[in-house]
Amino acid sequence: MKIIMLGAPGAGKGTQAKRIAEKYGIPHISTGDIFRANIKEGTELGLKAKEYMDQGLLVPDEVTIGMLLDRIHQADCKNGYVLDGFPRTIPQAESLNKALADMGEAIDFAIDVDVPDENIVNRMGGRRACLKCGATYHVEYAAPKADGVCDACGSGLVLRDDDKPETVQKRLTVYHDQTQPLIEYYKGQGVLHSVDGTQAMEAVFESITGILGA
């Protein structure tokens, strides 16, 4: 079962991807994790990626796809995987499709977690993070026991720059320009399924498992 998660930043696709991976016993693969693993291991592709990242440049698609293909051919992927954060653009999707087709494989499901922009701005604006231990909270959905204080280590919580409304709006603009066209692309491939991401987290997961099959 090869699954791609789609949705705007803050739509909750990462959370759902982890739950899918747990339920179906397949790995949750994010490009960030792949980059970190390759850089740590000092692989040829990892060193190439680091060159670009150190200059603040985007890692070229061929390097990213090379690392991704290495990852999905590891033993734990034999029953499938959940891709989170890749592809982000049509060229990336086409390259992935071609690479899989060359091996007689294909994506089975592209799950779009659909949430309107205004919900995302409100949702991300409520996030709070502990910079000391990395714990995350939400003032509405997962509030700390004491307002503004981390349950785990007692440090103060902050609203990260990434979660400020103006930053979120910029990220959404990039998403609509570059990534949203993937919805039409995968619809054309006959593998797209949309779920209402404004529902409670459990209801979203139930919608997804209804599509994937229990």
Dihedral over Cα of 18, 112, 94, 58: its sign: negative
- The DSSP letter of residue 77 is G
- Whether the CB-CB separation of 15 and 201 falls below 8 Å is answered with yes
**Whether 19 is catalytic:** no
Q: What is the pLDDT of residue 154?
A: 95
Active site residue 145: no
Give the tens place of pLDDT for each residue, 161-201.
Answer: 888 999 889 889 988 888 889 999 999 999 999 999 999 99
Which domains, from first to last, does the chain contain?
Answer: 2-26+79-116+178-212 (3.40.50.300)
**β pairing state of 2-6 and 81-84:** parallel
H or E element, residue 157:
strand 157-158
Residue 21's alpha-carbon distances to 26, 60, 81, 106, in angstroms, are 5, 27, 7, 18
Q: Is 71 part of the annotated catalytic residue set?
A: no
Q: Sheet holding 127-130: strands in order across?
A: 136-138, 127-130, 157-158
**What pLDDT is stored for residue 214 in this prediction?**
66
Q: Which stretches of the chain drop beneath a pLDDT of 50?
A: none
pTM over 0.85: no
At 178 the pLDDT is 84
Active-site residue, from 50, 164, 171, 187:
171
* Confidence at residue 175, expressed as pLDDT on a 0 to 100 scale: 87
CA distance 46 to 35: 6
State the chain's maximal CA–CA distance in angstroms.
54
* Residue 13 known to be catalytic: yes
* Catalytic site residue from 88, 98, 132, 170: 88
Residue 198 φ then ψ, to 5°: -85, -10
pLDDT of the residue at 77: 93
Choice among 19, 123, 127, 128 that is catalytic: 127
Q: 13, 19, 71, 123: which one is catalytic?
A: 13
